Amino acid sequence: MSGPGDPPEGTPNGASGGGEDEYRSVVFDESFVRAARLQEFSADERLGEHHSPAVKTRHAWMRLGGSRQAVLLVLLIILAFGTAVYMGIRHPYKTPEPVQAQPLRSAVVPLAPTGDVPGASPEDLFAHSPAADYRIGAAGVNLPAVARTAHFSDGQIVAALSIAKDYLVRSSLDPATLTGGSVRPVRLLLDTGQLDQFDRSLAHPDDNGRHAATGWLVRFDPKYTRLADRNVRVDGTLSATELSPDALDVTADYTFVYAVRPAPGAQQDGSAGQDIGKATPGAASLVTVRREMQFRLTRDDLSDHRLEVLQSSLQAGPLACSSKPADALRPLFAGQHAGNDRPTGTDPFARDRANPSLCGELAPSAQPKPSHPIR
């Protein structure tokens, strides 16, 4: 009898009989199949234990990346800074000390008229005075033609002359400065080494050659004087020379002519009992001020737009010799005269004063000759 797996026609010729007997060794019973567990191996397990991983494990320090570079950069900066400090301390050459600003030396000389002060309208006075052809205001402070020096370019020289011009304009033409107002615009142009001397000169003026307020600027006493015309006539010269590889000297020689009149209610009858007469009501008069100044500008001053005022010589008239112009100018007005006031004696052996008071005479040719004087 054929088995269940035999074909109906029987086993072919030459074949072993019985299919069941042939596969009996590889057939699993139902209990074995149910007990079997399926396990999926990982890629590493399938490759074996001797392969090299495609991605290497990174150390924690390696994972810092940019942070490590930042730390290294900071360490390099600290090392460089420490080296620079050490080399600076150990450097055999000392850094040159900055040049200290020199104190101002000034002289203020009143010029007394020989007769009565002429009086008229400002226009008439200017038209018939030596200042008839002078320019008005800052236009009268012109910069000269310049040429470069061994250590300064022409641009630097122009800058030095421009700073000096600014100082002349602010200290000689600004109405606030002239009438006892704010002096801050003048102060801002000074080298910081001269500020203490400037402040003391304005707070406690003294005719000692160092602390005269009028050595720094032109100022009329507002209790006695008013400007009759704000258009000041100006004429003079500016020049610059090289003092050293680090400094320029600028010299200025300018004449300023002001029209003034007495302040309302002012009573100026002279000083020390001098009879100078009464001012003519309604008349203006001219005051002439000549300023000869020497400035010094270092390279730092050029950068800071500042200067040092080394020397200042001011002559002003008509003034009485006893007017004490170190504080402010108190001019004689139209119709007044210098009286019997004359320069005081000077003792050349006395060394208690660095700059004794001086007084000069205002030449008649310096006075205007108005066509319609007010009397």
What is the per-residue pLDDT across 275-286, written as a single tens digit (0 to 9) for each? 788 999 989 999
Quickly tell me which residue has 């080494």 as its tokens.
193
Q: What is the mean pLDDT of the chain?
A: 83
- Strand order from edge to edge, sheet including 225-244: 135-136, 225-244, 247-262, 285-298, 308-317, 105-113, 360-362
Ranked by mean pLDDT, which of 54-63, 78-87, 324-333 comes out on top?
Answer: 324-333
1 Cβ neighbours under 8 A, 6+ residues apart: none
Q: Of 185, 159, 162, 171, which is closest to residue 300 (Cα–Cα)?
A: 159
State which H helix or E strand residue 251 sits in: strand 247-262
Q: Which two tokens stand for residue 140?
A: 């009268």
Query: Among 18-32, 146-160, 171-185, 313-327, where is mean pLDDT lowest?
Result: 18-32
Question: What's residue 96's pLDDT?
Answer: 46
Q: Pairing between strand 105-113 and 308-317?
A: parallel
258 Cβ neighbours under 8 A, 6+ residues apart: 178, 220, 227, 229, 232, 286, 287, 288, 289
| The pLDDT of residue 320 is above 70 | yes
pTM across the whole model: 0.72
Q: How confident is the model at residue 105 (pLDDT cuts 50, 70, 90)?
A: very high
